[in-house]
Structure 1
Amino acid sequence: MIQLVALQMHWSCQDGSSPTAFASRMDGLMARAADRLDPREPALVAFPEDVGLLAALAVLPPGLRDQPTMARAMAFALRRQFLPALAYRLRYRVGWARALLLAVQPRLVRLYLSTFSALARKYRVTLVAGSAPLAEIPFASGSRPEALRPHGPSVYNTAALFGPDGSLIGLQRKVALIDLEGPQGLDLTPGRLEEVQVFPTEVGRVGIAICLDAFAPESPVRERLARLGAEILVQPSANPGPWTREQQADWLRGAWAATVQEGRFAYAINPMMTGTLFDLAFYGQSALIARDAALAPKDRGYRDIGPMPGFLEVAQGDDSEEVLVAQVPHPER
C-alpha cells in the first residue's frame, strides 16, 4: 500500500514575512498531514502550485508584503532592489519582473529547496514541493540543495521532487503558461516539452504536470508523461478565479479526465492553492483520484457538480485549508 496526500493551502502574504516564517508555515502544514499518515507505509505528499512565491516574498524587503496590489508590490521591490535588477536587465535584456526574480535567485533557491528537502527528510515522505520561480539549476539526481547554484537568463515555474532522505530527485518546469506568468506578469520562461520526465520513486513512477500542463488540448505534457510510463500524475495548481460550476466542469478536463476517462494513470493528486495574495484571489477544491473506480467512494465530487467516479477524496471548501489523505494499493502491485 501507499499513501497519497494533497495539501490544500490557504495562503497570505504573511506566510512569506521572513525565511523563518516561511519554513515554519510549511512545516506546520506538513505536520497536519503527518498526523494522519501510517509511518509503516510510503507516502507521496504534494503542495500546491506557486507556494514558492512565498519564499520569494520572504527574501525580498519586508515592506513589500504591505502593498495593496501585485503591481504595487512589484514596483516597491524594484525600488529596493533597483541596482541588482538593473544589472540583470541590461545583461540579459529581460523585463523588470524577471530581472527582479534573477536578482534574488541565490537566496530564493536556497530557501525553497532547503525547506522542502528538510520536510521530506523529517517526515520520511516523497514530496512534490508545489512550484517556485526558479532559474536554471544544473544538478545530478540526489543532489543536496545547498550545493546547487542557479544561473542563466531564464526563470521557470518549477516543481521540485524530493525523496524521503531529503535528496532532490528531479525538477519539472511548466510548459504552458497562463497570462499572469507571461511577459505582462511575472515574465517567466516556458519549459520545453522534450525535457518533461518521469521519476521512479518508492511509491511508483511519478509524473508532474503543473496546473495547465495537465489539461488537453492546451498542452501535450500529460500525453508525454503517459508515454514515459508515469503511474501517478501530480498536478499542483493555483486557480486565480472564482470556483464556479463552469470552472469545476472545466477542471474535470485535467487530472480527472486523464486518470478516470482516459485511464492514462493509476492515480492523480491535485493540490490547490486558496486565499489571497495581494489583490489576487485563488479558489479550488483539491482532489485525490484513482483510475480504478472500485477504490473510490461513490459520494465524492466537486461542490456544484456532485458525485463522479474515481474521486478518492475532494476538499470540502474552495477557500479553505485542508489535508486530503488516501491509502491505496501500490500502482505496481
Structure 2
Amino acid sequence: MSSADPGSGRHFRALAVQPQWHAHDFTSAAAFRTWMRAQLEQARFHLVPDRPNLVVLTELNGLPLVLRGAPWAARLGTFERAAAALFAARLPRTLPLMWRERAGPVRALQLAHADDNARLYLDTCRNLAREYGVYLCCGSTPMPRYRRDGQRLRREPGTLTNQTVLLDPQGELIGVADKVHLTPDEERGGVDLSAGRLDELRVFPTPVGDLGVAISLDAFRPDVIDRLEAQGCTVLLQPDANGAPWTAKEGLPPDPAQLRDQPVAWLESSWTATTTGQNIRYAVNPMVVGNLLDLTFDGQSAITGRPEDAPTLRSYVLTEPRPGFLALSPWVEDGPPEQLRQTGQQLAARSGHARENAYHTEVLWADLNLPPSRCPVPPATPHEEALRGLLRGEARVHRAMPIWLGWLAMGALLARVLRR
C-alpha cells in the first residue's frame, strides 16, 4: 500500500462525482463498466498532473447489479416486483442459500450472484484507478466477506455488508470499510444487509490524506466520527445515496413531531465533522441522483473544510449560508421553500411530471493541503488480504455450490417440505 512521505507535506486534489443512474446501467457487465467509466471520464477534465488526485464515488453504486443478466426485470417497474421475479427465476441458487445460510429471500437473491458481481465491481474499479492514475474510493456496494485459503477465497456464510473499497493509482488495495449504522431500507425489511462492526473501522494514511470512511448515515453518528478522529483521520470520505427527494422531510427523525428538511439534517454529517472536529480537516461527500425504477435518489454533493479554509458563505438549499463549504453542487433550481419542495416531488420517481428524473449531475473538486502523516498503517484484515489476492490474480473465489447441486438441494428441500 502507498503511504505518505513522512518528510514533506501533502498537496493533492479531491474530487466528488455526482452521477445519475438508471436501471439499464446495471443489466449487463458492459453497461456497468460503461457507467462507471463515464464517471471517471467526467472527472478526468479536473485531474491535475503535478500532484495526487483522490476521486470519491457514491454509495451502493453496485447494488443494482442484482439486475445483471435480467433486463426484463428492469421493465417490471418497481424493485419489489423485480426482486420477487428474480428470486423465482433464480430459485436453484436462492432457495438453497436460504436453507443453508439462514438468509432471507432478498439477501439470498443478492448472495446468489455476489461472487460474480464482486469480481466485476472490483475489476472495474481497479482498472479505472490504473487507467486514470487516481486514488479511488469506489463508493460502496453490497459485498460478502472472504477469507483466503491458499489460492482460494471462501465466502463467510450469510454475510453481506455495505462496503467501501479504497484503491491506489496502481490498482492496489489500500483498505476496506463496512457501514456500521444501517437505515431501515438497508435492514431486513429492505435490502437486508449485514451491519459492520464499529471496532473494525480504521484510518489509512496515504498521500491524499489519512482516510477514514463513514458511509452515509455513519457520518451522522458520533461513535463513528469519534473513532475516526481518535485514529487521526484528516480526510473523511462519505459516499452517499439518499433515497428520497432532497427537499422532502428527513426519513430518520428522532421525534416524528420534529421533522426537519433533509438539507438541514445533512449539516450534521460532513459539514459538522470538518467545522467542529479536531483532526478531521476535510470531508468529501458525493451523492448519487436519479430515479431507479420506483426509487428516488437526490442530494447535493459537497467538499467541506474548516471555516478558515472555506470562508465563502454558502450552503444546501433550505438552509442559511455559512462558511465551511469548499465546493458544493447546486440543486436543480433556487427559489422559496414551497417552490423547492414542489419541484422535488416533480422530479421524483413515478411523478408523471414533465420534469420527472431531470436531476443535476456534477463533478466537484478542491485543492487540499495537509502536513505529513503521523498515522500508522493498520494491519490488513483477513478479508482485505483475500481481496488483495483476488485483485492481483493470486486467488479466486471458491464456489460453495455449483448450479447443478443447487437443483439437487432444491429438490431435496422441496421433498422434505412435502413429507411434512
User: Which amino acid in the other structure matches residue 294 of structure 2?
Assistant: D
Q: Deviations over 1:296-323 (max 9, x none)?
A: 2514311222422110000112632110
Alignment of 1:137 with 2:140, yes or no, is no
Partner of 1:249: 264
Q: Deviations over 1:187-232 (max 9, x none)?
A: 1110011111111212121000000001035xx1111111111110
Partner of 1:143: none
Contact 1:295 1:328 in 2 (8 A): no
The partner residue of 1:329 within 349, 352, 369 is 369
The partner residue of 1:289 within 281, 304, 307 is 304
Contact 1:274 1:282 in 2 (8 A): yes
User: Which amino acid in the other structure matches residue 231 of structure 1?
Assistant: T
Distance 2:14 2:287 in 1: 15
How much does 1:294 deviate? 3.0
**What percentage of aligned pairs have identical amino acids?**
40
Partner of 1:275: 290
* Distance change (3 Å), C-alpha of 1:274 and 1:111: same
Distance 1:261 1:147 in 2: 45
Name which of structure 1's ranges 318-327 and 92-101 shifts more when overlaid on structure 2.
318-327
The partner residue of 1:314 within 318, 325, 328 is 328
Partner of 2:187: 182
Contact 2:58 2:240 in 1 (8 A): yes
Q: Secondary structure of the residue that 1:75 maps to in structure 2?
A: helix
Partner of 1:39: 49
Alignment of 1:238 with 2:244, yes or no, is no
Task: In structure 2, list runs of 5 or more residues that go unmatched.
Answer: 1-10, 248-259, 333-358, 374-420
Partner of 1:66: 75
Contact 2:27 2:70 in 1 (8 A): no
Contact 1:258 1:264 in 2 (8 A): no
How much does 1:166 deviate? 0.4
Q: Where does 1:20-35 land on structure 2 (aligned, <5 Å)? A: 20-35=30-45
What TM-score does the superposition give when structure 1 sets the normalisation length? 0.92
The partner residue of 1:112 within 114, 121, 130 is 121
* Distance change (3 Å), C-alpha of 1:148 and 1:270: farther
Q: Deviations over 1:238-262 (max 9, x none)?
A: 1111212711110000011011123
Task: In structure 1, list runs of 5 or more residues that go unmatched.
Answer: 141-145
User: Which amino acid in the other structure matches residue 276 of structure 2?
Assistant: Q
Calculate the aligned-residue CA RMSD, in Å: 1.9
User: Which amino acid in the other structure matches residue 146 of structure 2?
Assistant: I
Alignment of 1:50 with 2:31, yes or no, is no
Q: Deviations over 1:53-86 (max 9, x none)?
A: 133333x422121121110010111121111001
Contact 1:34 1:123 in 2 (8 A): yes
Q: Secondary structure of the residue that 1:312 maps to in structure 2?
A: strand
Distance 1:248 1:263 in 2: 24
Alignment of 1:258 with 2:273, yes or no, is yes
* Distance change (3 Å), C-alpha of 1:116 and 1:305: same
* Distance change (3 Å), C-alpha of 1:139 and 1:316: farther
Contact 1:19 1:111 in 2 (8 A): yes
* Distance change (3 Å), C-alpha of 1:180 and 1:62: same
User: Which amino acid in the other structure matches residue 325 of structure 1?
Assistant: W
Distance 1:216 1:157 in 2: 16
The partner residue of 1:168 within 173, 176, 181 is 173
* Distance change (3 Å), C-alpha of 1:138 and 1:300: farther
Partner of 1:98: 107
Pairs aligned (count)? 324
Q: Deviations over 1:160-198 (max 9, x none)?
A: 111110011111110000111111111111001111111
> Greater share of strand residues, 1 or 2?
1
Higher CA-based Rg: 2
User: Which amino acid in the other structure matches residue 295 of structure 2?
Assistant: L
